[in-house]
Amino acid sequence: MPAKLSVNLNAAAMLRNRRDLPWPSVTGIGRIALAAGAHGLTVHPRPDERHTRHSDLPDIRALIDDEFPQAEFNIEGYPTEDFLRLVEKNQPEQVTLVPDDPAQATSDHGWDFRAQAAFLTPIVKRLKKGGFRVSLFSDPDPEGVAAACDTGADRIELYTGPYGSFHDAPAKAASELEKLGRTADAARAAGLEVNAGHDLTVANLPALAKRIPDLAEVSIGHGLTADALEHGMAGTVTRFLKACGW
């Protein structure tokens, strides 16, 4: 089965937040994406609420429950106590833990699983006890996968930023793709499922899907939103689903 597509709503929320106005509607954009065939919605509610606001989360949860019960809600973020309580309040199907500093503009690296295992393990245990699937943001590093598995997580999410950054350098992109592929191979061998996200586009998704044919999910925000400015959200979801192999 091809990778499922989760649409990250942060860029739409950031556009809304430029004005003290309710548009574009974050839930409205989410509704269009799900109606067009997306398999889920992702948010990254940072502490300063510079894009997705905490108040958006109940509305997104209700949208999925009331209109698209087959879809999934994925909340990602750095696991402070406030974040964990936000997750527990809004009950996503999946929680993706990222090692972001609050001041970062966007996620730009994965966890050091060996060094941070003692920190992550009890958090993963708490989330799993709450019934959430747990995914850990991961650099393309096959050697770190065993330590990720030891935390008790269900999945890793491959950080594909370096792969996406070489959009105009095919040889370098191919090298990064192979690193991602080897990490996915190691994760599979360790019993972990694999997600991927960051700077994925209609152009670079097919090669990723071919190299990692059992990829579980891709979470895409910036590239998908940029594409939607040209093709509309519904048309863009169709384009990205096709790029994933649907």
Cβ contacts of 139 within 8 Å, gap of 6 or more: 109, 110, 111, 159, 183
39 is catalytic: no
Residue 64: alpha-carbon gap to chain centroid = 17
Residue 30 Cα distances to 19, 42, 59, 132, 196, angstroms: 20, 9, 10, 21, 20
**Of 72, 76, 157, 193, which is the active-site residue?**
76
Question: Structure tokens of 91?
Answer: 């009950």
* CA nearest to 44, candidates 183, 241, 222, 201: 222
Non-local CB neighbours of 141 within 8 Å, separated by 6+ positions = 110, 179, 183
**Are the beta carbons of 12 and 38 closer than 8 angstroms?**
no
Active-site residues, by number, are: 44, 76, 198
